[in-house]
Amino acid sequence: MQKNIGYIHSIETGGTVDGPGIRYVIFFQMCPFRCKFCHNPDTWYKNPMGIRTLDNVVSDILKYKNFFNFSGGGITVSGGEPLLQSEFVFELFKKLKKDNIHCALDTCGYVDINDTIKGVIQNTDLVLLDIKHINTQIHKELTGKDNNKVTEFLNYLSNVNKKVWIRQVLVPTYTTDIVYIEGLIKFLDKYRGIIEKVELLPYHTMGKEKWEKLGLKYQLDVEPPNNQVLQEIKDKFINSGYDVLIN
């Protein structure tokens, strides 16, 4: 991948759910996972129609600087998986930090920690780390890949004391069971010093239509979690001392 060219799926200029304040959210193309619950399968593939230059993206972002300042917002790179284009993200964040723009990285954490990734993290103000499942076998069943790299990534964030919001999709039969939630809290407790917030993302079926349009067979046959289940899970986190929100 090139540092001055990004393969971008789409851009949202008034985002309010991917980090603090009003955010310019860049959804990058391509992803190493194939999550059964994915609601953005249209980001999985490389499409040259979405090519943007670094300078073009930076100049567009700078138009929104006042919105970032008054709302406490900034930019978020998401996807897909932005770290598959880490050279571009590194250059982007370096340029934006010169203008004091808050940079958030929404990632699945499935990367090898090399110098470019270290540079991205150094220029990142906040990492939104998506945890798919803490059991590596079930992680593989859900995403197609095991979770070893994700744990290594979280260890690295802990080593460099990087602020993190943990995001957990709540998928009935996979991640809504109270025993699973207790195990997750125990796992996260090791990283409590860097975790600022836990975001619970209830599974929904809004992406199903996209799978069908792409000619893909939708992989899950479960209903979204009900409010009682969501409240029980939220209470578990609150009682364990976490700042938690449901999005």
Give contact residues for ligand SF4 (rule: CB under 6 A): 31, 33-35, 38, 40, 43, 79-81, 108
Whichever of 52 and 210 has its CB closer to ligand SF4, that residue is: 210
Residue 76 β-bridge partners: 25, 104
Whichever of 43 and 175 has its CB closer to ligand SF4, that residue is: 43
| Token pair in block for residue 116 | 């470019």
Smallest gap from Cβ 53 to ligand SF4, in A, equals: 24
Whichever of 6 and 68 has its CB closer to ligand SF4, that residue is: 6
Alpha carbon distance 26, 10 (integer Å)? 6
Instruction: Name residue 117's amino acid.
Output: I
Q: Are the beta carbons of 10 and 28 closer than 8 angstroms? A: no
Whichever of 43 and 76 has its CB closer to ligand SF4, that residue is: 43
Q: Are the beta carbons of 28 and 47 closer than 8 angstroms? A: no
Residue 123's CB is within 10 A of a number of other CB atoms, namely 18
Smallest gap from Cβ 27 to ligand SF4, in A, equals: 9
Smallest gap from Cβ 145 to ligand SF4, in A, equals: 10
Whichever of 64 and 78 has its CB closer to ligand SF4, that residue is: 78
Whichever of 93 and 211 has its CB closer to ligand SF4, that residue is: 211
Smallest gap from Cβ 109 to ligand SF4, in A, equals: 10
* Of 199, 191, 185, 165, nearest in space to 236 by CA: 185
Smallest gap from Cβ 28 to ligand SF4, in A, equals: 9
Q: What is the largest CA-CA distance in the chain?
A: 48
* Of 102, 60, 109, 59, nearest in space to 82 by CA: 109
Smallest gap from Cβ 110 to ligand SF4, in A, equals: 8
Alpha carbon distance 101, 231 (integer Å)? 35
Residue 190's CB is within 10 A of a number of other CB atoms, namely 11
* Of 53, 36, 32, 55, nearest in space to 44 by CA: 32
